[in-house]
Amino acid sequence: MKQSWTEIMSSALLGTDKRPLDISILPEDVKLELSQIGPQSPENTLLKAAAIHHFYNQSGTEAAKLKSDVAIIKIEESKSYIKRNYINIYHRITETGYYEKEYLLNLWLDKVIGQNSIAAPEIILSIINLGTGLSKSTRKKILTILGERAKAILPLKPDFKTKELMVGGIDQWKEGSPEERRSIITDLREKDATKAINLIKEDWATETIVFKRTIIDLLSEQTHPIELAFLKSLYESEFAAKPKEKKTEIECRALLAKSLLKDVNSILYQTTLHHLKMYAGQEKKSGIIGLLTGSKERVIQVPIVVDTFFNGENMLYMYGIDPKNPDAALYKTDMIYWFSELLTILPLSTLMSILSKSKEEVLEYLVSHDDFKAKIEGKEVSVLLNALSENVKNNRDQELLDFILKFDTNQQKYLLLQYSESTFYEAYVIKEKLFLDAQVITHHPATNEDWSPYFSTKMLEATYKSLVVDKKHYYDKINLLMAKHLHVSSLSRLEDMYQSAVSDHYKEYWISHVYKPAKTSIEIKSSISQL
């Protein structure tokens, strides 16, 4: 059959003018049919032969058979599927907005994981598709609730990046990408810090310098006591200062110094304390009090010329600080710059001890003493303020943050709020009435939990007043965050506002942008909590 079809095709392609169909090569049945029709033009003969041949072929095709016997592989599940009420809530979650969806999904996933159930077949595809593009931690949870049949499907959904989630295996640690290997350590540190540090040590000698920096960065962020010895050994040997260092090596030393300075028992901390103590001195108190009482206060007398401690080489060798002063107008001397850099990583308790002052007094001293002030564009500025802000990030010092927020007039100070604790943050926002300041609200430290009931109500009231009463729009992202974070207890207040008599464009806007998404989200949260 195949050969005759090729013959028909050749005539059709070249044209019957050039190559009329030779019917003698056609199968007998086709020839018989053609002969019954009678004499035809070459074109008609060809088309008829093609038609008969095609239909014979089409209807005579037999089913193909697999080469090997098909084993009846029914995928058995060891866990039970989630119940209908879980599925209904899941469907509601899929309809929510981008901001609250992943958060709600995580709440739901936690419940399903707690129940030790797996996703029902009808939502497998949907949840894999939903998970694609969400964070790794969410995808990990999704993976946990996928049963055997879902896992059999995952290779067909490469965008879900399953491989990236299968962390922990020794093979992946040995052969994975830097990102995967970092994940392995992050996960392992949470479960078993000893095992994690042993794994790091095992292959340390063969790691690239860039990956070493990644690991040191990870460890220095929040150092586990068991990791200190390893970091200390790195600081003292591999990353101790040496000639012709690479930039990444210096960065590693800076990270190690940051980490070791947090440990009051470390040699680095003790050495630093010892050196700084030598700069402690006394001077007459400034202002009228000083004149009247003649009393003195303890100060840090940062040298005006380089010495054995405050010198570029020492700063580089000990702390990985770039010796070059980047802003001569701000930092009058290199020594002030180095002191400022040191202040970014040094716990304030060090200075409290040296100066025998309370934290507040130390801070007051650091930002108001003339030695630490400069004139920029005619304005007097505190040169150590940036260093203190950095210190908030490195040491999460709430008192320091409170002080900076009071002192600093720069709008950027609000960015530090993300390093505060939720209670501190909320109290501050309420006190300062910053509800409509998008820069502040978007930096609520509780990124994956509900706001407190009181703060939620306050947010609702402030946004309602702005939109519906004062008819003033604000940055829409605040609404999105409310949909995600409002506490379930704020539903009654939300309903009260909805029922209020006002009805205009602004109220409609409030209904569609605040009320509906927030209500849906709260209802979903309530349903999840009742599961």
Partner 1 sequence: MLTPAQIQSLAPDEPSMKSGKGLSVRNLWLTACRTERSLWGEIKGSGSKPYQTQVDLQNLAFKCNCPSRKFPCKHGIGLMLLWANDAFAVTQAEEPSWVAEWMDKRVAKAEKPAEPKEQTEDDLAKLKKSKQKRADDRMMAVEAGVGELTLWMSDLVRTGLLQLPNKDRSFFEKTAARMIDAKATGLASWVKSLGKINYYKDNYIWQNEALIILAKMHLLTTAFRNLESLPELWQHTIKSLIGWNQSPKELLADESTAIIKDIWIVVGQETTTEEDIIIQRSWLIGINTQRSALILNFGTRFAPLDISVINGSIIEAGVVFFPSVWPQRAVIKLQNRVLDQLPQSTVCLPNIDALYEYIAKVYAEYPFATDICCLVSDIRPLSNEGIFVGVDKEGRYVQILSDMETDKLIQWLAITGGDFYDTAVIIRNNKMLPLGIIMDNKYVLI
| Smaller CB separation from partner 1, 64 or 305 | 64
Rounded to a whole number of angstroms, the CA Rg of the chain reads: 36
CA distances, 205 to each of 179, 276, 469 (Å): 19, 35, 66
Using the minimum distance from each CB to partner 1, give the nearer residue, 152 or 376.
Answer: 152
Smallest gap from Cβ 59 to partner 1, in A, equals 4
User: CA-based diameter of the chain, in Å?
Assistant: 133
Of residues 429, 407, 409, the one with CA closest to residue 418: 429
Question: What tokens were used for 91?
Answer: 């469907």
Write down the least CB distance from residue 45 to partner 1, Å.
Answer: 10
Residues at the interface with partner 1 (CB under 8 A): 8-9, 12-18, 41-44, 46-48, 50-51, 54-55, 58-66, 69-70, 72-75, 77, 88, 91-92, 95, 121-122, 124-125, 128-129, 148-150, 152-153, 156-157, 503, 508, 516, 520, 523
DSSP state of 19: S
Indicate the residue among 59 and 265 with the shorter CB distance to partner 1.
59
Give the tokens for residue 193: 């810090």
- Residue 255 · residue 269 · CB < 8 Å: no
Residue closer to partner 1 by CB (options 130, 218) is: 130
Is the Cβ of residue 55 or residue 329 nearer to partner 1 in the bound state?
55
Q: Using an 8 Å Cβ cutoff, are 315 and 321 in contact?
A: yes
Q: How far is the CB of 37 from partner 1 (least distance, A)?
A: 9
The answer to whether the beta carbons of residues 343 and 337 sit under 8 Å apart is no
Find the shortest distance in angstroms from Cβ 44 to partner 1. Answer: 7
Q: How far is the CB of 521 from partner 1 (least distance, A)?
A: 12
d(CA 206, CA 5): 64
Nearest approach, Cβ of residue 157 and partner 1 (Å) = 7
Calpha distance 142→278 (Å, rounded): 57
Contact in structure between 366 and 372 (CB atoms under 8 Å): yes
Residue 464 CB, shortest distance to partner 1, in Å, is 19
Query: One-letter amino acid identity for 350?
Result: T
Q: Indicate the residue among 85 and 208 with the shorter CB distance to partner 1.
A: 85
Which helix (DSSP H) or strand (DSSP E) does residue 318 occupy?
helix 312-319
The residues, any chain, with a CB within 8 Å of residue 84's CB and separated by 6 or more, are none
CB of 463 or CB of 521, closer to partner 1? 521
Closest CB 347 distance from partner 1, rounded Å: 51
CA distance 454 to 264: 39
- Identify the three-state secondary structure at position 245: coil
Cβ distance to partner 1 smaller for residue 93 or 335: 93
